[in-house]
Structure 1
Amino acid sequence: MTPQVPNLILTAEDLLLAFVLGALIGIERQWRQRTAGLRTNTLVAVGAAIFVDLALRMGGSAEAIRVVAYVVSGVGFLGAGTIMKEGANVRGLNTAATLWGSAAVGACAGAEQWLPAILAAGFVISANTLLRPVVNRINRAPLSETGTELNYTFSLIVPRGQEAALLDILSEKLETAGYPVRDLRMHPFGQSETEMHAILLPSSVDGEVLDRLSAQFSQMPQVRQAFWNQSAGE
């Protein structure tokens, strides 16, 4: 048996472990029809294992550690491709984090740290399965003003060209009511109107006061619509 054969057997064992563990992580993702599923997570784990194993064989532990750092940054770019922003919502963060976990599992396998690789895979799978009911329960719970910082936005829809005239009036009326404006945003609404959003400073807001302000603005001839809403803070 040539000296390379034992190394080749060890490499095969490392890659097989990365393949199996990456596939186990990917099965859960594929079952839930996520962007990165069975094949992607398996390939990420195997790819990380190949790079780390190669560095370990050629340069020893120090070189393997350096390659692990490159694997982490490289998978970061791959994960960024799965993240999509749809309006105020961001999708794909969990998928990107799972890919990162698959790469970590593969890196452990490639470095012949088999027990850490198995443990890491178990924790990644557990995070995606055992914690899901907890997340769903929290998401279904109603928002509490005392436990969650809420953002309040007062909005006007006005004809184009009326924004400047209403800007000072809007700020003055809100400040008089005790709700200073933190930020003001405007964007086109339809073909001939503008939507103005006054984002209020976080505070205890009385909905009846904002309702009265909405009614006052709605009676102004240069205002097409006035309303307010609240959303959970970041």
Structure 2
Amino acid sequence: MTTVGSVWQISHLDLIVRMVLAVVLGGLIGLERELNNHAAGFRTHILVCLGSATIMLLSEYGFSDFVNEPNVRIDPSRLAAQVVSGIGFLGAGAILRNGSVIKGLTTAASVWLVAAIGLSVGAGFITGALVCTFLVLISLYLLNKWEKHFLRHRRTHEIEIMINEHPGFLSLVTSRFGEQGIQVTNLKMMPGSESSLVSGNTENTPMMHLIFSLRCPKHEKLLAAYEQIAALDIVVRMEAANFIFHKKVA
């Protein structure tokens, strides 16, 4: 029987405080992800942080009745180790790939960090959890703004266009980028794997698959160019970050 004040016991008040604190800290990080429309948002981060804290509390205090058993060895870090390795499946679900562009790595990292914060809160390492949350919020919010401002002239955007092969088709597309002051840094061309009808023609027209790498500091100009290109009759499909267009053929 363990004595009162044993390291293997925790009061109900301390238990509630730690679990509520895990919800608050996880929610703060999740709120920033939610406001920026990322895959893992407010509730996901809360659940991960609360779950990690609960597992840590279970590992520390859930088996206190067996501490004095001669054949039982208590190791509070065993369940925590499984959380650290097992949380990867949630992070993998937040990572998306569109062509050569990979999105969601930061959100996956934030989910992993929230699990660490939950474990810290559950273990009573409150100062470490608070400092970690503060630094994560600075990284996600303030450093994100600084990064966008500092790299605004160096950021490369990629767009894939499926287009009907037509005389002068390349100049029709590139001229729309030029009108918006967008620099084409790289271009890949390959035959399309499908065919489509052009302007009501009854004959199948060969297609080309174009992949443009672009440099443009202003997102509004990119969207304007995308809309102009999508309006061309010879364009069948376009895919870029935050922009997808598929022509409906009657």
TM-score range, shorter chain: 0.5 to 0.7
Given that 2:59 and 2:80 are in contact with CA atoms closer than 8 Å, whether structure 1 keeps it comes out as no
CA–CA distance in 2 between the matches of 1:56 and 1:45? 17
Question: RMSD over aligned Cα, in angstroms?
Answer: 3.3
Does structure 1 residue 13 correspond to structure 2 residue 17?
yes
Closer, same or farther: CA 112–88 of 1 in aligned 2, 3 Å? same
Alignment of 1:6-45 (within 5 A): 6-45=10-49
CA–CA distance in 1 between the matches of 2:50 and 2:191? 47
Does structure 1 residue 135 correspond to structure 2 residue 147?
yes
Number of residue pairs matched by the alignment: 159
Q: Which stretch shows the higher mean deviation, 134-143 or 16-25? A: 134-143
| 1:190 CA displacement | 4.0
CA–CA distance in 2 between the matches of 1:121 and 1:142? 30
CA–CA distance in 1 between the matches of 2:48 and 2:81? 15
Q: Residue in 2 aligned with 1:95?
A: 107
Given that 2:120 and 2:129 are in contact with CA atoms closer than 8 Å, whether structure 1 keeps it comes out as yes
Gaps of 5+ in 2: 65-72, 156-189, 196-205, 212-250
| 1:75 CA displacement | 1.2
Closer, same or farther: CA 45–187 of 1 in aligned 2, 3 Å? farther
The one-letter code sitting in structure 2 at the alignment partner of 1:141 is H
Q: Residue in 2 aligned with 1:117?
A: 129
The one-letter code sitting in structure 2 at the alignment partner of 1:11 is L
| 1:67 CA displacement | 1.7
Match of 2:57 among 37, 53, 59: 53
Closer, same or farther: CA 66–187 of 1 in aligned 2, 3 Å? farther
The one-letter code sitting in structure 1 at the alignment partner of 2:112 is W
| 1:66 CA displacement | 1.9
| 1:68 CA displacement | 1.8
CA–CA distance in 2 between the matches of 1:194 and 1:23? 47
CA–CA distance in 2 between the matches of 1:85 and 1:26? 22
| 1:39 CA displacement | 0.7
Closer, same or farther: CA 189–41 of 1 in aligned 2, 3 Å? same
Given that 2:10 and 2:61 are in contact with CA atoms closer than 8 Å, whether structure 1 keeps it comes out as no
Q: Which secondary structure does the structure 2 equivalent of 1:140 belong to? A: coil
Alignment of 1:202-217 (within 5 A): none
Gaps of 5+ in 1: 144-185, 198-234
Task: Report % sequence identity.
Answer: 33
Q: Residue in 2 aligned with 1:71?
A: 83
Q: Residue in 2 aligned with 1:172?
A: none
Higher helix fraction (1 or 2): 1
The one-letter code sitting in structure 1 at the alignment partner of 2:29 is I
Q: Which secondary structure does the structure 1 equivalent of 2:102 belong to? A: strand
Normalized against structure 2, the TM-score is what? 0.55
Cα deviation, 1:121-160, whole Å, max 9, x if unaligned, reads 11111110110122102331348xxxxxxxxxxxxxxxxx
